[in-house]
Amino acid sequence: MRQNLKQVPAYRRGEFFTQLSHPALADLESLLFPSAYPAHAVLFAEQEPSSGIVVVLEGEVKLSINSSDGRRLSFCIAKTGEVVGLTATVSGRPHEMTAETLYPAKVAHVTREAFLHFLARHPEVYQTVAHDMMRSFNLACEQLRTVGLSSSVPERLARLLLAWSESGGKSAAGARCRVALTNEEIGEFIGAARETVSRTLSAFKNRGLVSQHGYLIVIPSRSALESYACG
């Protein structure tokens, strides 16, 4: 009898978990002890020694780096089923980013020692770990390319919304993405001030390039948004 999909924990549908064999999955799940965190809780901070990985069981976790003068650049949002802190855990080096919950979330911490022992028992999982680390590296490179090489805030914001909409699904109205962030937090992803993000979003809406309904942003035409940003 097939297990009802609704009975499967949401985190198991994450790419990392779907690549594990049944023995490896069962072994890793035996190490997961959920902990609840409020919004904006720091799970680990950059330059801190790695204490292990963090598995996002429910909610979303923002990964960012900070400058000495307090500026912040956000790289990505880890969602349910994703594993963060892998690079520092495997390498033994300090965390290269800060992980912070966006809103109340449930996560599981697995100590570095326990995770390395898990890998020793299931060496085939190293390939999954390498794949996940490469994906994170590519995302970081793309984010740096967006911030460092895009010439204008409209282009940077358009690229960000288009990237988020790739995993947000589509409706009859167009591509969409859920953005439960303030304009200041959005600005951390593109290196822009809150006021600039507000003006740019307003310009997008006035030109019919996006519409916003609460946390939901709809992009009627991806090509139109791309053309406006690059034009």
Residue ranges per domain, the chain? Answer: 5-149, 153-230
User: What does the block give as tokens for 50?
Assistant: 């790695």
pLDDT per position as a tens digit, 73-129: 888 899 999 999 999 999 999 999 999 999 999 999 999 999 999 999 999 999 999
Give the model's pLDDT for residue 114.
Answer: 97
Homologous superfamily, domain 5-149:
Jelly Rolls (2.60.120.10)
Residue 1: pLDDT band with limits 50, 70, 90: very low
Q: Residue 19, exposed/middle/buried by CB under 10 A (0-12, 13-18, 19+)?
A: middle
Q: Alpha helix locations (H) across 80-165?
A: 86-91, 112-121, 125-149, 153-165
Residue 141: pLDDT band with limits 50, 70, 90: confident
How far is the first Cα of the chain from the last one, in angstroms, to the nearest whole number? 56
CATH code of the domain occupying 153-230: 1.10.10.10
Q: What long-range pairs does 201-206 form, CB within 8 A, spacing at least 24? A: 201/157, 203/154, 204/154, 204/157, 204/158, 204/228
pLDDT per position as a tens digit, 25-61: 999 999 999 999 999 999 999 999 999 999 999 999 9
